[in-house]
């Protein structure tokens, strides 16, 4: 089973499940049992991943993120805590993405570092634009709900062309983000360039929202393929990465709009 999602791709493509495609492999109980009786699978198997497993793990991650984020917001820790959260979260994200085994403790640590970063960052934004955080949360929830409905109802389908367009757009967006990051040291961030900055930020928000569709699709395929229950941690991690990305893009868009008032 091949994954198109950059985060879930390491989970589902590189762990011995790549050849297990529900569309080409006979979906019989015997085939599934042979898969789970293999030495590689039996060492970590506690059952098959279900949607309830993914929802539970995601809820646990959010509980950690919100708890740490709430503390960071209340304490108003400042730039040092923000940098610690951002770089610590990035480092743990890389470890979790490229790890050959699922490490729940590191996944929860990632949620904690991201909570530190988001709590501090949100407080800074709210100081500049009162009420912007609650607006960003509502927009993020609405975007998540809308994309989930679009996927479950079949209004948006994951096709090779759909995936290719998203991945191409992601590459372009990453290049622009890097250019903006370098330019910010010289006071020339693209996000400060009036209407162009708003277009780029909105594009990032829309791109993050559509990547939720890839997350939903890969989780569904993982369940259909009978992946081990432990992989639900990795699925929840991938979903969390996209939701955090979406929230930060929403904050950026709203701040630009509020700044132009």
Condensed to tens digits (0 to 9), the pLDDT of residues 169-193 reads 999 888 887 777 666 555 555 555 5
Predicted pLDDT at 33: 54
Query: For residue 95, is it within any domain?
Result: yes
152 in any annotated domain = yes
| pLDDT at 10 > cutoff 80 | no
- The predicted structure's pLDDT at residue 195: 64
Q: Decide if 34 is inside a domain.
A: no
In a domain, 30, yes or no: no
Confidence check: pLDDT of 14 > 50: no
* Structure-block tokens of residue 81: 């805590």
| pLDDT, tens only, 55-78 | 999 999 999 999 999 999 999 888
pTM of the prediction? 0.80
How far is residue 9's CA from residue 15's CA, in Å, rounded to a whole number?
10
Q: Is residue 107 over pLDDT 90?
A: yes
Sign of the Cα torsion 131, 136, 141, 146 reads: positive
Residue 36 lies in a domain: no
b/e burial code for range 133-157 (CB count within 10 A of at least 16 → b) = beebeebbeebbeebeebbeeeebe
pLDDT at 259: 77
Cα separation, 89 vs 94, in Å, equals 9
DSSP secondary structure code for residue 48 in this structure: B
Structure letter (DSSP) for residue 130: T
* C-alpha pair distances (Å), 8 with each of 62, 73, 156, 162, 221: 18, 30, 20, 17, 11
Least confident of 32-36, 38-42, 101-105: 38-42
**Domain assignment present for 31:** no
Q: Are 82 and 121 in contact (CB under 8 A)?
A: yes
Q: Is residue 27 part of a domain?
A: no
Question: Residues 39-43: what's their mean pLDDT?
Answer: 43
Q: Which two tokens stand for residue 211?
A: 């990547």
- Is the model's pLDDT at 8 over the cut of 70? no
Which residues constitute the domain of residue 177? 6-22+46-259
Q: Report which DSSP code applies to 179.
A: H
Please provide the average confidence, as pLDDT, over all residues in the chain.
82
Distance CA 198, CA 257 (A): 8
**Is the model's pLDDT at 12 over the cut of 80?**
no
User: What's the confidence (pLDDT) of residue 28?
Assistant: 45
Q: Closest Cα to residue 7, out of 235, 245, 244, 250? A: 235
Whether 137 and 118 have beta carbons less than 8 Å apart is answered as no
Beta bridge partners of 228: 48
Number of structural domains in the chain: 1
Q: Residue 159: inside a domain, yes or no?
A: yes
Average pLDDT over residues 107-129: 95
Residue-level length of the chain: 261
pLDDT given at position 17: 36
Residue range 108-129: mean pLDDT, rounded = 95
Q: Is the dihedral of CA 56, 58, 61, 65 positive or negative?
A: negative
Does residue 113 or residue 180 have the better pLDDT?
A: 113
């Amino acid at each position: 089973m091949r994954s198109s999602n950059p985060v879930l791709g390491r989970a589902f493509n590189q762990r011995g499940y790549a050849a297990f495609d529900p569309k080409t492999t006979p979906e019989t109980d015997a085939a599934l049992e042979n898969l789970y009786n293999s030495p590689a699978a039996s060492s970590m198997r506690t059952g098959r991943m279900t949607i309830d497993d993914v929802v539970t793990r995601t809820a646990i991650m959010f509980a950690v993120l919100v708890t740490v984020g709430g503390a960071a917001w209340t304490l108003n820790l400042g730039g040092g805590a923000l940098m610690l959260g951002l770089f610590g979260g990035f480092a743990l994200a890389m470890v979790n993405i490229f790890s050959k085994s699922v490490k729940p403790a590191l996944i929860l640590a990632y949620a904690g570092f991201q909570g530190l970063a988001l709590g501090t960052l949100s407080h800074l934004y709210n100081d500049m634009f009162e009420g912007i955080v609650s607006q960003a949360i509502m927009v993020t929830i609405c975007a998540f709900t809308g994309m989930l409905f679009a996927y479950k109802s079949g209004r948006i389908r994951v096709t090779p062309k759909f995936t290719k367009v998203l991945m191409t757009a992601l590459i372009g967006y990453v290049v622009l983000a890097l250019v903006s990051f370098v330019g910010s040291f010289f006071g020339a961030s693209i996000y400060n360039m009036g209407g162009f900055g708003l277009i780029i930020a909105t594009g990032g928000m829309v791109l993050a929202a559509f990547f939720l569709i890839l997350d939903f699709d890969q989780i569904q395929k993982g369940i259909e393929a009978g992946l081990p229950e432990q992989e639900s941690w990795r699925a929840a991690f991938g979903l969390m990465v996209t939701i955090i990305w979406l929230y930060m893009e929403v904050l950026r868009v709203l701040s630009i709009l509020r700044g132009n008032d």
